[in-house]
Amino acid sequence: MKIPLPPGSDRFTRRFFMLCLWAIALVSSVITAMVLPSLLSPNWWMWLLLLIVVMYAVITLATIAWKRILSTYITKPFAQIAESAQLVSGGVTSARVPLATMPSSEAYLAAEAVNTLADKAGKDIAEMKKLERVRTEFLGNVSHELRTPIFSIQGYLETLLDGAIDDPEVSHKFVERAHQNTKRLNILLSDLIDISKIESGEMRLSFRYFNLCDVVRETLSSLEIQAQQAEVALITNVINNGEIMVYGDKERLAQVVLNILQNAIKYNRTNGSVTISVEIQPQEVTVRIRDTGIGIPPSDKTRIFERFYRVDKDRSRSVGGTGLGLAIVKHILEAHQAPFGVESEVGVGTEIWFILKR
């Protein structure tokens, strides 16, 4: 990459050589003017002494000029660069070398390199702090999510051991609740394993062409009982035996459709509906999943794809959500480089859409 240099930044070398040329020319002139007459003069030793004094003065002036140039063009700017580099290495990533004060191209390039390293160090440190904060939040959320079903199971079992097991009605109810919490725990652990594999890069995607209609029909069929229990109607414009070929990992994209549909059912209202529609374009297919549920406030729309983030925490607990479904959706769609988004209105419903390649 070509770095723009300040005007006159290449004068150092020219000035140095010009000074040397002027000094040589001056000394040569003095020698010529003084040596030739001395050959004809009986006081030649006086001329020799004067020549020595003049040459000494010229050398002294040249040395002073050289030190001044050395200080201006090398010592001071590189000392400034070294100071900034030490500050950056000590963690002060805001330290910068003012490029406008650099007198030569060499100093400018060195200062630019230090500033670039400082910028990168600042970004790396900010990213590390962000990752550490996310990791801390994630561990806290995982601990809380695991603690809830485990404590519930523990409470039910302790109650049974304390004598409730002798009451058939109570024991059956408590065992059933404990079983529900074990299923919730299993789902949570499965989601944690999935998102861990995706984020670490261990999950390998198998890209190929497949029939999107099959995925939609199979997913809707698997959710029929859940939708009936929630009194939510499932609607689609995908016709039976239809064929819409798209490119991607079939199993993972089926997981995307499943997670979004499950959320749409869980957060819907009684006698509501969930509609999944497919819009075909020449090079792509848009999938839209729309519900008639509680909706999402504008302030929460940008956060619903975060891990463990819930708009309605109380309802999430009652319907058994892990808070990881949409985070997994986000990672899978990003791995497919598939655009996606959400549109929602509180009290009206939510629509999540994504685009797949044909």
At residue 167, does pLDDT exceed 90?
A: no
| Chain centre to alpha carbon of residue 204 | 21
Nearest residue to 313 (alpha-carbon basis) of 169, 102, 141, 165: 141
What's the pLDDT band for 267 if we cut at 50, 70, 90? confident
pLDDT tens figures, 233-247: 999 988 777 889 999
Q: What is the C-alpha separation between 351 and 154, in angstroms, rounded?
A: 39
| pLDDT for residue 51 | 67
**Domains of the chain: residue spans and CATH:** 11-123 (no CATH), 143-200 (1.10.287.130), 208-357 (3.30.565.10)
pLDDT tens figures, 11-53: 555 566 566 666 666 666 666 665 556 555 666 666 667 667 7
Question: Whole-model pTM?
Answer: 0.58
**DSSP letter string over 4-72?**
P--TTTTHHHHHHHHHHHHHHHHHHHHHHHHHHHHHH-S-HHHHHHHHHHHHHHHHHHHHHHHHHHHII
Query: Residues with Cβ < 8 Å from 106, sequence gap 6 or more?
Result: 12
pLDDT tens figures, 104-137: 777 888 888 888 888 888 888 888 887 777 677 6
Q: Half-sphere exposure (CA, 13 Å, Cβ side) for 256?
A: 28
107: amino acid identity, one letter: A
Number of residues that make up the chain? 358
Q: What is the C-alpha separation between 290 and 344, in angstroms, rounded?
A: 9
| pLDDT for residue 319 | 54
